[in-house]
Amino acid sequence: MARRYDPERRQRIIDAAIRVVGTKGLAGLSHRSVAAEADVPLGSTTYHFSTLDELMVAALRQLNEGFATMIAACGGLDDPRTDLAEELAGWMGEWLSGDRTGVELEYELYLAALRRPALRPVAAEWAEELASLLSRRTDPVTARALVALMDGICLQVLLTGTPYDETWAREILRRVIPRSTDA
């Protein structure tokens, strides 16, 4: 039997893994569950991703790119007249206001790095990339503090189920941002 040319198969497998984790959690992620979701032979998942860690790395990297794309589209970091606290609070509001399943999925994969060392570099890349973007407007130490604060705010909203309070987030962010940096 001839091999079927399927250049999108790897991407379909990653997308399927994201859907599986979104519906079943990390505990439901297996090569078999992803193959069924992607409608590909089981061997295809193991061909492209020999371990589940490799698959999770690819999924987390894809999710990170989605968040970076959202931030880049906002463009507020390029204008020094933009109120940085307002911009960051708005980002979080945009991220948390839609379907929380996607945000929960991102954090589930992000926090999986606690037990899966293969995910740690990807989780660190996300924090470093965001800190680098924020360093356009503030010093590197403050940028890292802002990343940690934003992570904390998002986790609190997700874990407690409370609605995101953009006014409160903006006020807390302003307390961390040096006055000379904010417009």
Give the residue with greater pLDDT, 20 vs 179.
Answer: 20
Residue by residue, DSSP assigns 80-118 as TTS-HHHHHHHHHHHHHHS-HHHHHHHHHHHHHTTT-GG
pTM: 0.81
pLDDT per residue as tens digits for the range 126-173: 889 889 889 988 999 999 999 999 999 999 999 998 899 999 999 999
Would the pLDDT of 1 be above 60?
no
**CA 162 to each of CA 97, 100, 102, 141, 157: distance values in angstroms, whole numbers, following the listed order:** 12, 12, 17, 29, 5
How much of the chain is helix, strand and coil, in % rounded to 5? 75, 0, 25
Q: How many residues does the chain have?
A: 183
* Residue 154 CA from chain centroid, whole number: 11
Q: Please, what are the domains in the chain?
A: 1-50 (1.10.10.60), 62-176 (1.10.357.10)
**83-114 pLDDT per residue, tens:** 999 999 998 998 888 777 778 888 888 888 89
Predicted confidence (pLDDT) per residue in 72-84, tens digit: 777 777 788 889 9
Q: Name every residue whose Cβ is closer than 8 Å to that of residue 172 and which is 6 or more positions away in sequence.
A: 149, 153
Percent of the chain with pLDDT over 90: 54
pLDDT at 4: 67
Residue 20 to residue 151: CA distance in whole angstroms: 24
Q: Is the pLDDT of residue 66 over 80?
A: no
What is the C-alpha separation between 113 and 151, in angstroms, rounded?
A: 15
Share of the chain above pLDDT 70, in %: 95
